[in-house]
Amino acid sequence: MTENTKKPLLRIEKIVKTFGPVRAVDDVSIDIMENEFFALLGPSGCGKTTLLRMLAGFEVPTSGAILLSGSDITRLPPEKRPLNLMFQSYALFPHMTVRQNLNYGLEMEGLDKSEIRRRVDETLAATDLTTFAERKPDQLSGGQKQRVALARALVKRPKLLLLDEPLGALDKKLREKMQLELKRLQHEAGITFVIVTHDQEEALVMADRMAILRDGKLLQVGSPEEIYERPNDRFVANFIGIMNFIEGTIEAGGHFVADGYRLAIGATRAPGAAVLAIRPENISLSPDGDGLKGTIADIAYHGLDRVLHVRSPASAQPILVRVPAGDGHKFQAGQTVSLIFNPDKCRLF
């Protein structure tokens, strides 16, 4: 589905939440679309959990409004909201089997037995839990428990599922598997997911769009690709992926100049000091010495590729340059190299 045909399911309008002097969420507005996998991302303390708790109804905003399918739910208690929240701690009932854990919410809704059976079977199948239906939580692995928690949230068919660091308790390998699984389940169930995470990689892999928050403020909203390719803020650029920052000046005519390297980037900015941001994969090495001069300080092995750490007066930190593993043998520490930036991939801050 393209962006244009989607409707906003959730509208977050100018939300402010203060705790005493702390502005935990500071004037945040976001539209989240139907069927979207949306991630709230930011460093510890940026306000993402507080925002999620307001969506769930556990906190009331200091000001602003939350609309779900056009109705104002800002002050509606949690149990009256057509949404579900999945916590990091799975909160499964330990004395009940997997099936009973799933039945529970539907029994509370007063559905009849055959309907409960049908929906639970369907959800167990979708989450690959059919063979574990009669086990209790302590007879399951961490990843399986996590799937039960998810199944329990999905079986109620909420319009919106809020997930607070759902993969936080899992080890790296399982996390990566579950990231793809969650995305598949979200897609198949056709439910809007809003997930809180502090893990950039996780947001990039799973989300259709994401919001980057810092100190309660919304810095950028966009698809992973938009945010990775066109960060509109220096913090975002550095927070998502790896970014080099090169100190230089803009010259009349749109050139960026750093330590003698002149790069035509068609900058529309006024001449003066500027910082150019470029990712390691967008720098190539020039054999004819026609780029930014530097000295290799270190070479790090990263499986499929090598990352050269290159020292240059134009950057306080070593400039990181990604080269294919096959080219790795061409370089050694101490060597002088010349760096060429892809002008289309440069950002100015």
What residues make contact with ligand ATP under the rule CB under 6 A?
19, 22, 24, 42, 44-50, 198
Q: How far is the CB of 204 from ligand ATP (least distance, A)?
A: 17
Q: How far is the CB of 45 from ligand ATP (least distance, A)?
A: 4
Residues in the chain: 349
Q: How far is the CB of 50 from ligand ATP (least distance, A)?
A: 3
- Return the DSSP state at 251: E
Q: How far is the CB of 106 from ligand ATP (least distance, A)?
A: 31
Nearer to ligand ATP, 63 or 139 (CB): 63
| C-alpha to C-alpha distance for 313 and 303, rounded to whole angstroms | 29
Q: Give the burial string for 304-316 (b: 16+ CB within 10 Å, else e).
A: ebbbbbbebebbe
Nearer to ligand ATP, 163 or 274 (CB): 163
The closest of 200, 217, 181, 258 to 45, measured between CA atoms, is 217
Q: Give the burial string for 231-245 (b: 16+ CB within 10 Å, else e).
A: beeebbbebbbebbb
> Please, which residues have CB within 8 angstroms of residue 170's CB and are 6 or more apart in sequence?
142, 143, 146, 178
Q: How far is the CB of 35 from ligand ATP (least distance, A)?
A: 25
| C-alpha to C-alpha distance for 227 and 125, rounded to whole angstroms | 35
Nearer to ligand ATP, 13 or 26 (CB): 26
Nearer to ligand ATP, 124 or 194 (CB): 194
Q: How far is the CB of 48 from ligand ATP (least distance, A)?
A: 4
CB 225, CB 217: distance < 8 Å: no
Bridge partners of residue 248, in order along the sequence: 274
Nearer to ligand ATP, 19 or 301 (CB): 19
Pairing of strands 347-348, 305-311: unpaired
Q: How far is the CB of 60 from ligand ATP (least distance, A)?
A: 12
Amino acid making up residue 37: F
Q: How far is the CB of 42 from ligand ATP (least distance, A)?
A: 6
Nearer to ligand ATP, 214 or 306 (CB): 214
Nearer to ligand ATP, 86 or 258 (CB): 86
CB 163, CB 194: distance < 8 Å: yes
Nearer to ligand ATP, 47 or 318 (CB): 47
Q: Report angle CA 9, 84, 46 to the nearest 5 degrees.
A: 75
Q: Return the structure tokens found at 19.
A: 């705790």
